[in-house]
Structure 1
């Protein structure tokens, strides 16, 4: 598996006398090191004891991809890109500093400067010694770093160059060199640093194939950014593709398909990981058997996908892409120009009530929609039932979290032999059997609901508001203004510790007011929806009714939402009013979320 092992100094890895170059393949992650790693690398080199031993910087793994040794020796850098890229950026900043202060250099110093330039860029023709991959403009940014340092390279004009990490790294090292050189900009300490960089040691492991590289890569614990299970699944796909190169399936093609899949899943890592768990759980009966993996947990995810990928790469990849397109709809990652219907709104509601554990069931049903004679209205009905289930479940805690995945996997088994309305009925019956009954649900609804689950509480309030809306009075209560919802939960009786004087008087004095606040402030009847206004909560009851924004629009209780009609009509707000409104709203919630 390992072709060669060498303890090499940086000066040898990038020797001015040879034509070895290091290319980072496009499927590698983008440059990810930040100030912490930059400083650790620089400090480690500076703290070297000055002996000839050199500071050990870790391991790099390469595959020899040379096609014409007369032109250059091309090594594909599979591991170590963060360190080697950062080292070359540090060297470029040293090159800039020494060039700017070349009048201080003697003959040896000028020779070192010329050698340093060739360690970064080969001539005739001009070629980079380290070649970052193209993601997030890494390659173009690095070209700009070399050009800025004074080397003779052509660099494209790119937007927001200074906002990305590669140029930030260069500027950071340039500042550190200025500090190191002192007020007189002495080249001596910078030349000493260059000597330490050149003496630093890396272990270079050269392997024969991508498969060998990834196997070795996963077994080493280097200083780079830790790999996630999703990274390792990607690497397993690429390694498997590399083994099948003769079949026409290349690592590059798989990488493009992988990016298409992540485009469907979105940027959120938790969503990506959830998809891979749900895929296995949804289709486990059809997939190759994975020993001791009855359910896909985070700890078993890597082992599961190594088995699935090595067993049948082509079909597995095709199936993942197909299911990724379905999951894109389930999680609401549709493009702005893609049409949405009532099923998409139902799926959005399920997400709002934290119904992610049921996505395996939906993935199965939507993947086999035609085979099981399921119409979109049927899928919407199932999704709405799931929403009712999770409103109840996420307030009562029943069934417990550790039972949810197994519940939905067993439901997949149950409906796999059914079709159409039989499936709808079976899902409803099973969820009713598993969910908390009305009595337990009602007990939570009349308690300190907001403390139980603020997100589900908001969903309940929005649902109550929507139930009384007409086409003429419709408001999108999920609309956002930047990071904030335009419509937010408001505690009618404020939840802050220092109640304003008006509230203390209304509630019967300090002691009584404090007791009422502690017992009632988070109950459903004390909650409503208002326009976002950070200054609303601590005002008097009357002020909160009539509060307006800068444009003259009501953002207090007189915001024309029928949900607030009884609050507006009330002349005072005490425990009596909160009790009455809580009971009324709780009964309405039971009707909106039946099981």
Structure 2
């Protein structure tokens, strides 16, 4: 016999209780994608609760089995039969919030004590009953280090990775468009996340229950649920409506996942913050207000009409107007769901006669411009899942839709880069390491089209090529040293190798390889790609030529993708390089170290700017950055006036071993290690994908 009730994390964790993950459970295995999804859900919920304090978000079930012979009169103990991954992650998130608040001094001691003493530990119990959650043996040491705030917290395993991920997210600069702080996030986690707690009877076979819970089966999608719900509301007209409206909708969109997405996009038009996982609940709540069969039929007719417009987004070559078609093709190639609610809204306006094709084409260009300019300055997709749905509600209805959208995108912190900011990023930012690889290639293909190429180039066979190679051959090094001085070669190379001015497209990546520029020039001259022919005009290739080409490409980009309506606005200290540096430093595991040069390589800059930044601006885990020999830099100093402790002693407490003054090279994070950390935490996918 089992008993189920809906509850929240606070009610589960408060009181003298302990939750043990049994031996037959696998160790903690959640990874970056799980962390990202949970973080999106929690931060969205925290935002929702600003306007509606009762807002909740369902995250699944937790199956608990009471352990016979619990400590009498003191503590109640349960086996976590199912749900340990969620429960472990949520407590690690609470620990990260606690430590963030302590570090920032941005909350009362009561807030942090409550998290530690009521939600993470049984304050008055000794081991082994002290921790609220007791993971499997493989995870206990790492988990306890986090809960107890030991120097080894954030170790190099999955438990440590979760803790470091949430510390990095909490350390992100506050966005005025998302006015939630760590305390509100903690409240969303403890009282806003809804979970069904299922308790077994003491005589139940919990191992068998565990096995049955983990059997897989075919699950209904939210689109299936909505279809079933709608047709249950049509007792006399279901056959007719299915034949005349629903079946054409299915044929137009071709699969159930797209129908589910359509229902979600429709919901976003009136509820911009709703998650795709909430589609059925949100639509059902709205549809329950319809009382008659005629009203249900009218709703299905409306959805079918939206489906015809959504199909144009999926198959843009079917669009009749050439200007709108060009923009829809581009936005389809961008391969992102985030602009979809706004694009669909623009097509709806045109369909009902409230906008012309010319206005819609111009509005779509502004969407494209925002995407391109943000991408080129390293902002990628951050916050766009809020920007585009909100536009549907916030556009000025008294203006033509293209002008209204241009104004909306130009206001607030939407990171719509000005011309000056764009040029600066093109000349100095590492485009090759920015965002999603597919979108890097898309931007390069779009830039090639700016050359008015008459011959169609099949982009599927193209790859991005560095003109000055990623690794300098002896001949490249000699040529650069002769022009710029041997001592400057590595610094200039690190600063410019990944910038747009040094990148091109080619179908001959293997043959270009590491050839000297003379040979590359011959290959590029013979290319059908126009940007390659432009490079081949140069007699030599180095920093001066890269800058000159970067400026030339900037002019084309600025002309093709218009900037914000108010080009005089300032962005303040908005350099994404330092935000990326701080994020990466937060992710460095305890017991590991890295160098200024390796950080620079990953971030696409040089070691000196990294060193200067760490010497003059607060940054997390700066003591874990050593020089190339594994020694603490002579220039290192704590920026907190009260700190006098030796960085080597801190590193030793965290688990770094020293031989003389040098840290153990076996504990050094390689460039590949840092790249992996960066990829795991970057928000590079759409929240609905």
Query: Normalising by the residue count of structure 1, what TM-score does the alignment of the two structures yield?
Result: 0.50
Q: Identify which of structures 1 and 2 has the higher relative contact order when contacts are C-alpha pairs closer than 8 Å and 6+ apart.
A: 2
Larger radius of gyration: 1
Query: Normalising by the residue count of structure 2, what TM-score does the alignment of the two structures yield?
Result: 0.44
